[in-house]
Structure 1
Amino acid sequence: LITDDNFADYGMMGVHRAGIAPEELDAVVHCNFPWSNPTGFPVRRLGFSAQQVLATCIDVIELKRRGEAVPELTELPALFEDELPD
């Protein structure tokens, strides 16, 4: 697990230098969609959709603006790249 996609290439180069082929392990990299740093290694990206975060924020702001109750906590799921809506 690499918790910052900015370091994915460095982490995977370390794996390669240790004599482990990238295909021998499952690498999961956290990122914020839609932007994710490209890597020359096979990785699976997991993160949050910036569009979903902003849309949810706007929805909550609109509720507050209308004087309606707003949730104390709003949770959004982390998604794998292939789970993102089109």
Structure 2
Amino acid sequence: MTSLAQILLLLLNIAQFIIIVHVIASWLINFQVLNLRQPFVAQLWQGLNVMVEPVYSRIRRFLPPMAGIDLAPLVALIAVYALQRIIINNMY
């Protein structure tokens, strides 16, 4: 049972990392530090969107519109952190 919990924690850590990378990449693209016309940046951005958009779209259904501010990544990070705490507290 401990190994299953450790695998779930690893997957949650990977999800947390992907969400943080997506947020940072979106900032860099919006501030024009990264350009989507570059093939590597475009592929990276598309890959990140494919991974996070299914989660974000479900979260956005419940969040009210916030004048251009997307809180879906924040809610996703809080959910991942909460799941990590639940698993860690119930592991032993």
TM-score when normalising by structure 2 = 0.26
Between structures 1 and 2, the one with greater strand share: 1
- Quick check: which has more Rg, 1 or 2? 1
| Structure showing greater relative contact order (alpha-carbon pairs closer than 8 Å, 6 or more residues apart) | 2
Between structures 1 and 2, the one with greater helix share: 2
